[in-house]
Amino acid sequence: MFDEVRRKTLRLAQVEPRQALWAPPETSNSILWHAGHALCVVERLTLTALEGRDEVPPALPDGWWDLFGWDSLPAETPAAAWPELAAVVEQLREQHARLGRAFAGISPAELDEPLDLPGYPWHGYSKRFILLHGIHDEACHGGEIWLLRKLYERRTSCS
């Protein structure tokens, strides 16, 4: 499932730099933000599931959690603060290879183990649930990227 969803995200993220930063009027999430958010959420939920820690993952470039995490504020982020889409795509590719190796080493029994992280919203849920939640979240954001691509192409005829 991770392979399929990530391939789709990478395909959808192939846009021009100007399109990557565009957000429709009265919205704030761009294609760049959705791609970076997918990277960050998958990384954090994987760290939580596999290592039992809920923290900003060290594998993320400095400052990216603040830009793309679940408490990020894209509308308040200056344009100069955003990384290039190419950098996010490279991180998505690297993460796909790295996590693919990690996922291959997990047994079904380990995936079924409950997360032992008191106070965490999904304490007691299986590690499989938490990993799949991250992949599902990426798939949802892929849908948002697809919609933004369509809206961008129609932006002049709709305004």
Which of the 8 DSSP states describes residue 58? T
pLDDT at 124: 95
pLDDT tens per residue across span 99-134: 999 999 999 999 999 999 999 999 999 999 999 999
Closest CA to 86 of 35, 42, 134, 29: 35
Percent of the chain with pLDDT over 70: 97
pLDDT at 155: 84
Q: Which of the 8 DSSP states describes residue 126? A: B
pLDDT in tens, 23-36: 999 999 999 999 99
Taking only Cα atoms into account, the Rg of the chain, rounded to an integer number of angstroms, comes to 16
Residue 106: exposure state from Cβ atoms within 10 A (0-12, 13-18, ≥19) = middle
CA–centroid distance for 44 within its chain: 9
Domains and CATH numbers, the chain: 2-158 (1.20.120.450)
Tell me what pLDDT residue 37 has.
98
pTM of the model as a whole: 0.94
Say if residue 48's pLDDT is above 70: yes
Work out the angle at residue 120's Cα, subtended by the Cα atoms of residues 143 and 108, and round it to the nearest 5 degrees.
70
Q: How far apart are CA 62 and CA 7, in angstroms?
A: 25
Residue whose token pair is 């429709």: 24
pLDDT beyond 80 at 71: yes
Amino acid at 67: L
pLDDT higher than threshold 70 for residue 158: no
Output DSSP code: residue 61: P
- Is the pLDDT at 159 greater than 60, yes or no? no
